[in-house]
Structure 1
Amino acid sequence: MTSYKVVEICAGAGGQSLGLEKAGFDHALAVELDNNAANTLEENRPSWIVKRGDVANPETWNPDEYHGVSLLAGGVPCPPFTIAGKQLGATDERDLFAWAVGLTDRVRPDALLLENVRGLSMPRFSGYRQHVLDTLASFGYIAEWRLLQASDFGVPQLRPRFVLVALKEEFAPYFAWPEPKDTPLTVGEALYDLMSANGWDAREWARNAYKIAPTIVGGSKKHGGADLGPTRAKRAWAAMGVDALGVANDAPLPGQKFEVGPKLTCDMVARIQGWSAEYPWTFTGRKTTKYRQIGNAFPPPVAAAVGKSIMKALKREGIRSERVPADHDAIYLTLRDTGDFVSTARLLRAGGREMDPAELERRISLLKRDFDIDTLETTSGNQYKLSGFKAFVGQEGHVRHHLFQKNKSRIS
């Protein structure tokens, strides 16, 4: 039988890992920066090779040793793209998305899977996304983006994830995105057994907690302890009878009363993230450490669904269809295709009817956050030229190295 090997970078505590294993992939390697998450991987899968450290550091692992694996996968850091953050994108020292895309040409896997937050799907990053598609096309891969909702795959949580799948041209026609198939449990249905584990009567609570959970926020080393998210999420939890100001050590005791409701335990949060009897997993470390591992994960059922679709394509079992990569940003495309200075008038025409000078300036300013764009002032108006990509793609002298080392203790 053919063994389908996966190399997983930025593996975290194993949400994507477990899902890909369920899809039939065999881990050749998992690379993870955080020691606590690496401990969890080794606790659950002692036979796996787990490398600890900065995935972009050649001292951590040698990508050449894994040339030709079936799948290169990862959940690279989210802060460069998160809506709640500064959305620094290519200029954030934690941004490894472009580097991971470039790694594809070195490892030459049959398929690539990268997932990130919904923020990467926003107009702010349209040029960045197009650059990713262009890069992969130059390597001989056909790539697509898709925003997937965890609740469409049985996970009792509103957790959108932006997913990139790229396949070699021979496999791409057989790929199809997984179709939504499961009706998720409500929070009450999902957690009733765990909430009543110590004898607390959870029946009324479960009836009240009849909704899908808001997105679990794993938090970061920078911002301290565990809680269930920002103010809006806390209000949503409170409406379901859950105290979101922290995480409990144990399920409530018989007769225990609450002003808002009980807090969730780490086991309960893991259930909300998609771990269950079907997806069993053990988390190591203290409570806050466990919560961060769980909260920052890719839900295993979603990873399994995407992994199964990729596996079908690699086995050529899908229904063959031609795949055409989508274009994202007319302004970026015009600058890219011209390769020289482009007049404001031409860019306005490229932008279509809704593009006016003010909107064009806004779009150029957004592109300048990720790309080097030269400006030439002329009597007839400004002209612009696309001259470089700011993201870290492996350059030895890139500012990313200094900033990464400086902030390493806070990166999660």
Structure 2
Amino acid sequence: MSGAAEDSPLEVVEICAGAGGQSLGLERAGFRHRLAVELDEHAARTLRHNLVNVLGYDEKEAEDAVCVGDVADPEVWNPREYENVDLLAGGVPCPPFSIAGKQLGASDERDLFAWAVELSGQIKPKALLLENVKGLSGNRFTGYRQHVLDRLQEYGYIAEWRLLQADQFGVSQLRPRFVLIALQREYAEYFHWPEPHTEHPPTVGELLRDLMARGNWSEEKLDAWVKQADGIAPTIVGGSKKHGGADLGPRRAKAAWAAMGVDALGVADDPPGPTNPRVEGAVSPMLTTEMVARIQGWHGDEFAEWEFLGRKTARYRQIGNAFPPPVARALGVAIKRALLKEADLRPLVEASKVTLDPVYKILRGRKRPMTVEQMVVKLAGSGTPLEQPEVERRLVHLGHDFELIQNLRSNGETAFLLGGFKAFLGQEDHQRHELFAQHRSKIS
């Protein structure tokens, strides 16, 4: 069987696959792609190319396995054709939850996280793997995360969230990612989160020395640069089509790069030399896309051969928006061992017993509205006491992601009732369709 280990029948459907960071990691873990859906044509071409040239698919297999278009468009693919697949995985868009953005969550037309959870209810995969930015782990989204856990519990899954750092798995980059893994009950008790590596990853200088050495500068300057670049990289930011050309991130990241002797205002065509002019008489080269790919985890025996297609900015975005392959591989191995029931049994944490947002919990399903004072009293009686300002803050957050109905009582107090979830769940009349069509050329 091409593209996967000979002894493994496990298959994955991957949504928002990008250029293949998660794809490569899952393939190296022993999964084979039945389908990978990606919006961006450049990324899809890169993925097809490498399925053939790195992972051993034949041309027709690769063509059939990669589908280009809006993953939520029923004209692009039919989820029902993939029922009971072993794994549904994806890195759905990050801007709805990014601290660098407006954190619109369920109100953002790019939000596909809740839709992916509903998709698991249709496809019924044995396991679900979704990853996103650290922002989703914050207090702003406790109600959103609670809703996700509750929905997955209704569908028969045991789900857990965990914040993982890429540098814990051999990647020379901070890159925190918030990961959701859910498994059907019979497999969940075999799942264990992957253990972080005991060894630290190489520094940026150590990792890139041989690539930097291809440039036109002295051994003395090269040694000095390697010594200066003595830490791991800040999070690589791929940006989007709304963003301009390729650069290495926001102001704070640029300052961290500058401290390591890297000019983060752009990405170079070549290592230090005539086409990387900022190096002339200075100690701060720009990185090339090949260097950025290595920092993102595309290096070593299992991951180094991946080739990115397109012009420089397109290649950089493909790399910067990817899930580091070594992290994806570690998660894939853990999921595979659970699905094959190879790991040790462990006690299960019931999703229904996990309370991330107690205000959401007491409002969910209620028919009669409650005042803030009533909520404070009820929460105190339930063993999860919250003061009035905290309850009010959580109500504000819930109002971003849910319809929060407010009723003014005769005594002047306001009572609240939790309405529907604002997120796109596949509804034909959802505002997501119109907004997505309007902004289609700028979404990546």
Residues 243 and 260 of structure 1 are in contact (CA less than 8 Å); yes or no, is this contact kept in structure 2?
Answer: no
Tell me which residue corresponds to 1:17: 23
Q: Which stretch of structure 1 is more off in the superposition, 195-204 or 45-54?
A: 195-204
Deviations 1:323-377 (A, max 9, x none): 2133200100111154432232231235558733333222111101100121122
Tell me what 2:175 maps to. 159
Match of 1:86 in 2: 102
**Residues 131 and 250 (structure 1), Cα distance of their counterparts in 2 relative to 1, 3 Å cut:** same
CA distance in 2, matches of 1:119, 1:350: 29
Q: For 1:3-402, what aligned pairs fall within 5 Å after superposition?
A: 3-46=9-52, 47=57, 48=62, 49-181=65-197, 182-198=199-215, 200=217, 201=219, 202-253=222-273, 257-278=280-301, 279-280=303-304, 281-324=306-349, 325=351, 326-336=354-364, 338-350=366-378, 355-378=386-409, 379=411, 381-402=413-434
In the alignment, the residues of structure 2 paired with residue 172 and residue 131 of structure 1 have an alpha-carbon distance, to the nearest angstrom, of 20
After TM superposition, give the deviation of residue 148 of structure 1 in Å: 0.2
| Aligned 8 A contact 1:340 1:386 in 2 | no
Q: CA deviation at 1:386?
A: 1.1
Q: CA deviation at 1:260?
A: 4.8
> In the alignment, is the contact (CA less than 8 A) between 2:273 and 2:280 conserved in 1?
no
Tell me if the contact between 2:225 and 2:283 (Cα under 8 Å) persists in the aligned partners: no
The answer to whether the 8 A contact 1:238-1:260 is kept is no
Write the deviation string for residues 55-103 of structure 1: whole angstroms up to 9, x where unpaired.
0001101111111110000000000000000000001000000000000
Q: Which runs of 5+ in 2 are unaligned?
A: 1-6
Query: Shift in Å at residue 248 of structure 1?
Result: 0.4
SS at match of 2:434: helix
Q: CA RMSD in A?
A: 1.7
Q: 1:218, 1:296 within 8 Å by CA — same for their partners in 2?
A: yes
Contact 1:376 1:382 in 2 (8 A): yes
Q: Output the CA distance in 1 between the equivalents of 2:283 and 2:241.
A: 27
Q: Report what 2:4 is aligned to.
A: none
Shift, 1:41, TM fit: 0.4
Task: Return the offset for 1:219.
Answer: 1.1
Q: CA 1:268–1:2 in structure 2 vs 1: closer, same or farther (change >3 Å)?
A: closer
Distance in 2 (CA, whole Å) between partners of 1:343 and 1:233 is: 44
Cα displacement string for residues 227-253 of structure 1 (whole angstroms, at most 9, x for unaligned residues) = 011111111111111011100000114
Give me the whole-angstrom Cα distance separating, in 1, the residues matched to 2:281 and 2:245: 22
**Partner letter of residue 392 of structure 2?**
E
Amino acid at match of 1:230: P
Question: Runs of at least 4 residues of structure 1 off by over 6 A?
Answer: none
Q: Quickly say closer, same or farther: Cα 1:193–1:371, change in 2 above 3 A.
A: same
In the alignment, the residues of structure 2 paired with residue 33 and residue 43 of structure 1 have an alpha-carbon distance, to the nearest angstrom, of 16
Alignment check: 8 A CA contact 2:114 2:423 kept: yes
Query: Cα offset for 1:381?
Result: 2.6
* Contact 2:231 2:260 (8 Å CA) reproduced: yes
Q: Spell out, residue by residue over 1:84-129, the C-alpha distance to the aligned partner (whole angstroms, 9 max, x if none).
A: 0000000100000000000001111100000000000000000000
Give the 3-state SS of the residue equivalent to 2:424 in structure 1: coil
1:384 CA displacement: 1.3
Deviation string 1:200-256 (CA, Å, 9 cap, x unpaired) is: 332221111101111111011101101011111111111111011100000114996
Aligned residues: 412
Percent of aligned pairs with the same residue? 59
| Alignment-mate amino acid for residue 327 of structure 1 | T
Report the Cα distance in structure 2 between the residues aligned to 1:292 and 1:314, rounded to whole angstroms. 33
Which range moved further: 172-181 or 196-205?
Answer: 196-205
Return closer, same or farther for 1:77/1:350 CA change in 2, 3 Å cut-off.
farther
C-alpha separation between the residues in 1 aligned to 2:214 and 2:265? 21
Q: TM-score, normalised by structure 1?
A: 0.97
